[in-house]
């Protein structure tokens, strides 16, 4: 329900402000606004009230909203009004340049909203991003498809189409958008050219996760085992290598394991300070963990934030554990819990920027009743807190970068071989991507991101969208000829059919996926 509440809140903010852009521009040029609706009121409204000339309301179908201007064929498809003589307060009576501004009003407000949100965030909590430089300090680990199309574990991304991209998120997408990817491999520069079909395979099978940070093997340990009878591995074992060969990175062990599908692999394990060989069964994918063995990374506790605390009066959501019985690493912390089942454990905790001492009860299962939020690992995160003036400049740059991102995404969608069109999501699909807890920082960041996306979508020259209306107005300004009302009606109808069809497809796909996931 929290995910649904978040998407409704975000859509409401975006739609109201977008339509307000049209509304305020119309009022400036003295065009009568007959309706202002949040969401679509096909057939009936949830709420409505007429104030002056305008009926304000909320529709029942949460797929957007609209303002109905007198003397304009729009989403309402009201053509009867157009048969009457034009009136001074009607949209069609205004000069083309005024009509163009009214049509672009929503897009302009969306861009201003994004810039405003980014400015406030950058000047208060700071600009946050995952540093590609930090993530690929030891190179990157690539999925099976990534390696198949030409990447190798250990490659570092240098540039995409000649541009250095500092943010991991945009670097990953840049690989899918770009034509030429430069990587550093064993001290040499290698150029990779991915075809649309190769990009499509990455999108379908691995998505953005086809690139991961390369993890040092000495940071990996066996965290838990569902059924100890099915494996010779034990909790807190540390993987050293395979056979007699010691490796540096976890991806090297995984690559070796995939060479032994449906067979056995001889893992070199460090247990209680001694190296021993363990014969482990692999599955059809070459995995030696399956659904039974779970590994974790040996983070510093200070890199982990408590996401949720249940049945624990000593620890709170947002706390950062600095040490437990003097231990500061993830594996030692869990060993302390294992050794102190039914007892207490002493911890130093960072809470509200203060360090406090906490004593907490460990239950019989060796748990504290807390859950860490791995997404808040600060090892790779860069935070740039800026002055207000600098924040404005960076907010404009960020918004422009988002526009370019949307353009590149759209170009990728239009290339069928990439299959990117299958990833287009409706509000249902977007809602499922949102966190299951209310987080204002995430919500406003996502609102800014979505606001630029909404501006770009509406700028597309498709009949029924603002961009379609704007295009016809620009053609009129150049040629001096106006599209006749009958043709305009046909064009608007055609555009609405296209848009509604696309909505039906995306909603249908996401509803189907939701049902399938629930059944499975």
Same domain, 11 and 91: yes
Overall number of domains in the chain: 4
Same domain, 187 and 230: no
Q: Which two tokens stand for residue 390?
A: 């600098």
- Indicate whether 512 belongs to any domain: yes
pLDDT reported for residue 501: 61
Residue 201: domain span: 132-213
User: Would you give per-residue pLDDT tens digits along the chain (520 residues)?
Assistant: 677 788 888 889 999 999 999 999 999 999 999 999 998 887 889 999 999 999 999 998 877 888 999 988 665 555 566 667 778 889 888 999 999 999 999 999 999 999 999 999 999 999 988 899 999 999 999 988 999 999 999 999 999 999 999 998 888 888 888 889 999 999 999 999 999 998 888 888 888 788 888 999 988 999 999 999 999 999 999 999 999 899 999 999 999 999 999 999 999 999 999 999 999 999 998 999 988 999 998 888 888 888 888 778 889 888 999 999 999 999 999 999 999 999 999 999 999 889 999 999 999 988 898 888 765 456 788 888 999 999 999 999 999 998 988 888 888 888 887 776 666 655 655 656 676 677 788 889 989 988 998 898 888 888 778 888 888 888 888 888 776 666 666 666 666 666 656 555 555 544 445 443 443 4
Same domain, 60 and 157: no
Q: How far is CA 231 from the centre of its chain?
A: 37
- Burial bucket for residue 272 (CB in 10 Å: 0-12, 13-18, 19+): exposed
- Indicate whether 406 belongs to any domain: no
Same domain, 291 and 366: no
| Helix, coil or strand: residue 212 | strand
Same domain, 323 and 232: no
**Separation of alpha carbons 19 and 103, rounded Å:** 10
Per residue, the 3-state secondary structure of 249-314, as one string, reads EHHHHHHHHHHHCCCEEEEEEEECCEEEEEEEECCCCCCCCCCCEEEEECCEHHHCEEEEECCCCC
- Indicate whether 228 belongs to any domain: yes
- Cα dist. 316→140, 319, 352, 452 in Å? 35, 6, 11, 36
Same domain, 251 and 315: no
- Indicate whether 430 belongs to any domain: no
- Indicate whether 103 belongs to any domain: yes
Among 255, 276, 297, the domain boundary falls at 297
């Amino acid at each position: 329900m929290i995910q649904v509440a978040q998407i409704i809140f975000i859509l409401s903010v975006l739609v109201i402000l977008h339509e307000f852009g049209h509304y305020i521009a119309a009022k400036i040029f003295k065009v009568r606004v007959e309706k202002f609706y949040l969401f679509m009121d096909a057939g009936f409204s949830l709420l409505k009230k007429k104030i002056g000339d305008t009926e304000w309301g909320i529709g029942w179908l949460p797929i957007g909203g609209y303002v109905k201007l007198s003397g304009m064929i729009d989403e309402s498809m009201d053509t009867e009004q157009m048969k009457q003589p034009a009136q001074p307060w009607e949209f069609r009576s205004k000069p083309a340049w005024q009509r163009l501004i009214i049509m672009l009003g929503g897009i302009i407000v969306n861009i201003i909203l994004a810039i405003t949100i980014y400015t406030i965030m950058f000047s208060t909590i700071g600009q946050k991003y995952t540093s590609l430089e930090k993530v690929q300090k030891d190179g990157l680990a690539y999925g099976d498809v990534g390696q198949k199309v030409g990447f190798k574990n250990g490659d570092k991304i240098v540039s995409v189409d000649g541009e250095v991209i500092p943010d991991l998120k945009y670097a990953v997408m840049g690989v899918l958008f770009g034509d030429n990817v430069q990587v550093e491999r064993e001290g040499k520069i290698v150029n990779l050219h991915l075809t649309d079909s190769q990009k499509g395979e990455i999108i379908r099978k691995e998505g953005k996760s086809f690139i991961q940070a390369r993890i040092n093997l000495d940071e990996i340990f066996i965290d838990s085992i569902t059924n100890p009878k099915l494996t010779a591995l034990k909790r807190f074992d540390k993987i050293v290598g395979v056979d007699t060969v010691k490796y540096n990175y976890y991806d090297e062990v995984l690559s070796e394991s995939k060479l032994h599908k449906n067979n056995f692999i001889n893992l070199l394990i460090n247990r209680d300070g001694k190296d021993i060989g363990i014969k482990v069964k692999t599955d059809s994918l070459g995995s030696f963990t399956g659904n039974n063995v779970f590994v974790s990374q040996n983070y510093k506790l200070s890199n982990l934030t408590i996401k949720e605390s249940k049945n624990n009066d000593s620890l709170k959501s947002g706390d950062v554990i600095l040490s437990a019985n003097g231990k500061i690493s993830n594996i030692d912390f869990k060993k302390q819990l294992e050794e102190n089942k039914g007892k207490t454990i002493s911890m130093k905790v960072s809470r509200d920027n203060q360090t406090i001492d906490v004593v907490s009860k460990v239950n019989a299962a060796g748990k504290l009743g807390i859950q860490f939020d791995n997404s808040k690992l600060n090892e790779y995160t860069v935070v740039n807190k800026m002055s207000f003036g600098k924040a404005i400049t960076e907010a404009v740059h960020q918004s422009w970068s988002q526009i370019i991102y949307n353009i590149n995404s759209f170009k990728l969608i239009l290339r069928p071989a990439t299959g990117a069109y299958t990833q287009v999501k409706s509000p249902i699909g977007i809602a499922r991507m949102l966190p299951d807890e209310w987080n204002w920082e995430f919500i406003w960041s996502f609102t800014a991101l979505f606001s630029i996306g909404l501006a770009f979508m509406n700028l597309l020259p498709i009949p029924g969208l603002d961009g379609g209306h704007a295009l016809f107005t620009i053609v009129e300004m150049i040629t001096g000829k106006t599209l006749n009302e009958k043709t305009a009606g046909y064009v608007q109808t055609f555009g609405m059919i296209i848009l509604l069809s696309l909505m039906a497809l995306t909603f249908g796909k996401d509803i189907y996926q939701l049902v399938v996931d629930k059944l499975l």
